[in-house]
Structure 1
Amino acid sequence: MRVYITDLEAYNSGHLVGAWYQLPMNEDLLAESIENVLQEGKSICEDEHFHEEYFITDYECDYMEIEEYSNLTKLNEIAEAMENIDEDGVKAINFLIENQFVKDIFEAIESYEESVRIYEDSTMEDIAYNLIEECYNLDDMPSIIANNIDYESIARDMEIEGSYYKVDSDIYEYIG
């Protein structure tokens, strides 16, 4: 996550004073970085008083929307929690948030591994076939049964059940 922190008072005076920062970062360094932006704004505006307010004018983040007045400390905590999560984990977290299965990103981070299973480039028929194969040994079944399993019908019933969601070319299963 990267954020562009801007001095609000300097901005309101017609000056764009700010800098890009990569989160997560040490809390003291974050406070110092904000302080530097505000000090630079004070200098450019030639003010006697210290500038106190800042806002986020731009950001780069794959897993959440960031608002102008988002709390930087909270964003820093989120970035720290997301730091070691792989691409599939980010997909699962976004899925939980977008479908409102969790109340916030912290709950999504805490629960995504147990709550979501992603079947990449799959169809519901693929999932039905794999489920039957996992649960039953088809080699032990009489061929009349094994050869006549209606995977399409099973897939349709699984989809109607409401635990499976198609997202692009992937199927997401919400385990809960």
Structure 2
Amino acid sequence: MCSEIRIYVACLAAYNSGYLHGAWIDACDELDDIQEQVQSILKSSPIEDAEEYAIHDYEGFDGYGLSEYEGLESVQETASFIDEYPAIGGELLNHFGGSLEDAKKAAEESYSGCYKSLDDYAEELTDNTSEIPENLAYYIDYERMGRDMEMSGDIYTIETAHDEVHIFWSH
């Protein structure tokens, strides 16, 4: 899957001289391999002594945006995280303002799972924590419980598709 997470690296000297010179690079490759590929692009540039590059395009980062001048180490770490958590990685990074450390911590420690809806989660959580008498079960509003948990800040959600809500505890 990681081969679908890639960046297009362009030689800036060539670009500024009116040439499109660059290549797509698998962003999950080892950092040394990525750096070698970038150096190869610069060495084969139609402009002599080219030294600078930029990321002119990217694919597979699942809604997370890269800077044109993002460091290669950051790109590789981000791509590897998204590859490890393909359904939620990009959105987690967005949720935490690009903090890879916070996104990793949430994925590893705060993730409660994927549910059809927030009310399904509230119902499962309630069923697992207490025995509700059958005659009272019909009076519980799980939709409201789920909404209240989210609005209070106890949980946050990432919706990745229709009927696909990922739930995370905030604390």
Work out whether the TM-score is over 0.5: yes
Are 2:116 and 1:121 equivalent residues in the alignment?
Answer: yes
Moved over 6 A (4+): none
Cα distance change on mapping 1:21 and 1:150 into 2, 3 Å: closer
| Residue 148 (structure 1) shift | 4.2
**Retained in 2: the 8 A contact 1:7–1:18?**
yes
**CA deviation profile, 1:107-148 (whole Å, cap 9, x unmatched):** 312331212324322242x2332222112234xx4x544454
The TM-score with structure 1 as length reference comes to 0.74
Q: Distance in 2 between matches of 1:8 and 1:37?
A: 11
| Residue 81 (structure 1) shift | 4.1
Q: Give the structure with higher Rg (CA).
A: 1
Structure 1 partner of 2:93: 97
- Tell me how large the CA RMSD over aligned residues is: 2.7
Alignment of 1:17-36 (within 5 A): 17-36=21-40
| Residue 31 (structure 1) shift | 2.4
Q: Distance in 2 between matches of 1:113 and 1:127?
A: 19
Structure 2 partner of 1:137: 131
| Residue 39 (structure 1) shift | 1.3
Q: Distance in 1 between matches of 2:148 and 2:34?
A: 51
| Residue 155 (structure 1) shift | 4.3
Q: Secondary structure at the match of 1:87?
A: coil
**Retained in 2: the 8 A contact 1:117–1:175?**
no
**How many correspondences in the alignment?**
162
| Residue 3 (structure 1) shift | 0.8
The TM-score with structure 2 as length reference comes to 0.75
Any unmatched runs of 5+ in structure 2? none
